[in-house]
Chains A and B, each alone.
Chain A
Amino acid sequence: MGTKLSRRRFLTTTAAAGAGLYLGARPLRYARAAGGKITIGTEAGSPYDTFYKKHAAEFTKATGVEVTFNAIPHDNIRQQFVQDALSGAGGFDVYIADQVWLPEFYEKGFIADISKQLSDADKADFSKTAIETVSYKGAVVALPIMVHNCAMYYRTDLLKAAGLAGPPKTWDEYRQYAKATTKDGVWGTMILSKQGIEASTRLNSFYQQAGADIIDASGKPTIDTDAGHAALEFMTKMVFEDKAAPEGVLELPDMQGAWLDGKLALAPVWPYLYSLAKEPLGGKFAIGTSPGLKRPAGTVYSWGFAAAAGSKNPEAAAAWVKWATDSEQLYNFGKEWLNPVPRKSAIDKIGADSSISDSDKAAIAAFAESAAAGTSMPMIPQYSQLLEILGIIQSGVMSKAVSIDDALKDGQQRAEAAMAG
């Protein structure tokens, strides 16, 4: 006769097994917190992903905390972090954070306030703009590794051949330079307008260069304004009137590809292109600040590390954020990737490093100067939505699907609805 599993026996066994699992799991959970193991979400293929993976062993040696990286493609990264935060699973202890996300992530309780972990001396070592880009409602919600904007890469050889010396400092000069260098298969410049966040950041820059922004000091959207008209007229004139930029709905890889291929004279691009542009260009170039109508420079954005509020190991997560943004790491990051870094002490070390060539130091200084001349994006939780709206406006106008007036009117309504929640 075989053993018969009664209902009571089944329930008793199940309960015992459940209790055993629970009790077994508890020490495991505490062990994880005490043992120091964190997962960091980074952007796959990005300079910081490569850099921090290479140096993570130093953090483990210094703190005893083991680090695992989960690299996510750029287009999915925000979605993955939001899903992780919503599920409460604690899949990530640290997020690589675009400044754009910080206000909304903090507002929703996805990331932690790390103000208390930052000493006054430490805070003072960061540039004022850098701290502003990670501060929201009085809290420091991340620490930056990179504070940058689109600098103007310009071909000195092509400008010289056209009898010009760069970089252009005003919009009028920008148009003039672009027109003069558009010949022999080379475009003067390129205006990005594929609907999406990348091109939208350019339109925000044009608003700021026209002396305004997409929201005012009281938080009211200011899309349908003189600055908006000026920005879109500038973009359309460059393409359709001056014929100094190619028609079509173009995106960042189009601009970078044309630049690297030597087919572009003036390219407002992010600093990271510099380390790629040195070899394949086939021409001479320099870097300056983007021109403006009333004020120069592109909108400033930062990337940094934020501690996930749902982390099972908050101390280790905060420790990573501090370590990854300390003077030594930022100095190494700036040196290896020739990027502007947000700490004064790291900038000084880069300046004093004799292994870095003068041209590379000049480029880093030019990027830093460009960022210093710029204005940060508005720190509001609805900024992602406003970028979407800017994308609808500029793709509509640059494809001639919508007039400037109608696009701005529609954008204003959308922005007001977004801000009203």
Chain B
Amino acid sequence: MQSEVADIPAEPGTIPLRPRRRGRTGIALTTPALLVLAAAMLYPIGYTIWLSFNSSRTALSGTPDFVWLANFLKIAANRDFQAALLQTVGIVAASALLEAILGLSIALALHRALAGSRIFQTIFALPLMIAPVVGALAWRFVFADGYGLIDTIARDFGGEGPLWFADVWLARAAVVIANLWLALPFDILVLLAGLTALPTEPLEAARVDGASPAQILTRIMLPLLKPVIAIILVTRFADAFRIFDVVYVLTGSGPANRTDVLSTFIYRQMFTNFDFAGGAAASVLLVILTSAASLAAVLLLRERQGRA
């Protein structure tokens, strides 16, 4: 009997729990939380999937009106959905690329523990504490046509700032920049944690062998950071595909819908057009797309683990 509980360290003066009893207690304690989680998360997801296979009347009446894949076919053929999908992928790709370059550069600079790097770590983390919609509003004032911060600075130097929201590509750039500002702190902090956890021996050995800083970065540090980068990709893909606040506040999907993304499309489909079933189908497609992108990153991680 003693051996059954030998692996459970007991606090002095307390009686150790038996494993089965401990298991039951664990289930009893976690069940309420799991039920709440299921109700809060699984029910809306399940309802959305169910609604995507029914007509919009179902959302109003509650009575099933099964239409098979009709909503998915209708949404897939919708030119606004196609444009929003393309623009979302473009924004995600541009964001991912810039986040990788800037995030790694800043993380490496902060990792070198130069004077003031702790202060910079705090400063870089600030956007994480700001609600995306508030951040987007601040960027609206930075980019605002005619009186924004950029325009004001340009005028102080005798020039004129660009009309960010009146040009399709500049409007898209503004969305990417604002989104980058919101996302970069997460990348930096995770990369910093990854850099701190790197084993020092291979790095020191490389230095002794005369490897250049660039070689150390590309041949040793980056391969070792691959799992961390994969985690960032999984998290950021899930986040970036859902981009909403920045587009909604900065451009309102304009000009002429050219910065429309899947989330704003779904919002419009649901709450302007009252096409609840079509919106649900688009939401399901967005989840599939996000999952596929995240899965690709997970496979990247597994490949790394397999080789290790």
Contact = CB atoms under 8 A, between A and B. Distances in A.
Interface of A: 75, 78-79, 82, 86, 104, 108-109, 193-196, 246-251, 254, 257-258, 384-385, 388, 391-393, 395-396, 398-402, 407, 418
B228 to A, nearest CB: 36
Interface stretch (B120-128, B176-184, B198-206, B254-262): B254-262
Contact of A248 (B60, B166, B248, B257): B166
9 contacts: A79-B271, A108-B60, A193-B255, A391-B252, A392-B254, A395-B256, A396-B254, A396-B257, A399-B256
A81 B195 CA distance: 48
B144 A78 contact: no
Nearest to A418: B273
Contacts of B258: 401
Question: Which size class do B's interface residues fall under?
Answer: 20 to 34
Interface of B: 59-60, 144-147, 163, 165-168, 171, 248, 251-258, 267-268, 270-274, 276
Given A108-B60, A247-B145, A400-B166, A385 B256 contact: no
List the 5 closest pairs (A to B, CB-CB), nearest first: A248-B145, A195-B254, A396-B256, A399-B255, A395-B254
Nearest to B170: A399
A388 B268 contact: yes
Contacts of B147: 254, 257-258
Contacts of B273: 385, 418
Given A385-B272, A398-B166, A401-B168, 10 more contacts: A86-B59, A195-B251, A247-B166, A249-B171, A249-B255, A250-B145, A254-B145, A254-B146, A395-B254, A395-B255
Contacts of B163: 247-249
A249 B254 contact: yes
Nearest to A247: B163
A196 B247 CA distance: 12
Contacts of B268: 388
Given A75-B248, A385-B272, A388-B268, A398 B255 contact: yes
Contact of B255 (A254, A385, A401): A401
Contacts of A79: 267, 271
A78 B268 CA distance: 12
A173 to B, nearest CB: 25
Which label, helix, strand, loop or mixed, suits the secondary structure of the B interface?
Answer: loop
Contacts of A400: 166
B272 to A, nearest CB: 5
Given A248-B145, A249-B165, A399 B254 contact: yes
A109 B274 CA distance: 13
Nearest to A78: B271
Contacts of B166: 247-249, 398-400
A217 B142 CA distance: 45
B248 A249 contact: no
Given A194-B252, A254-B147, A399 B60 contact: no
A248 B146 contact: yes
Contacts of A82: 270-271, 274
B214 to A, nearest CB: 43
A140 B254 CA distance: 36
Nearest to B268: A388
A257 B255 CA distance: 22
Contacts of A195: 251-257
Nearest to B272: A384
Contacts of A398: 166, 255
Given A249-B163, A249-B166, A399-B166, A109 B255 contact: no
A368 to B, nearest CB: 31
A195 B247 CA distance: 11
Nearest to A396: B256
Given A78-B271, A388-B272, A399-B168, A246 B256 contact: no
B151 to A, nearest CB: 9
A418 B144 CA distance: 32
Given A78-B271, A247-B166, A396 B146 contact: no
Contacts of B145: 246-250, 254
Nearest to A399: B255
B223 to A, nearest CB: 44
A356 to B, nearest CB: 35
A137 to B, nearest CB: 17
Contacts of A193: 255
B307 to A, nearest CB: 48
A81 to B, nearest CB: 10
A250 B146 CA distance: 9
A399 B145 CA distance: 11
Given A247-B145, A249-B145, A385-B272, A407 B256 contact: yes
B191 to A, nearest CB: 34
B145 to A, nearest CB: 3
A78 B272 CA distance: 9
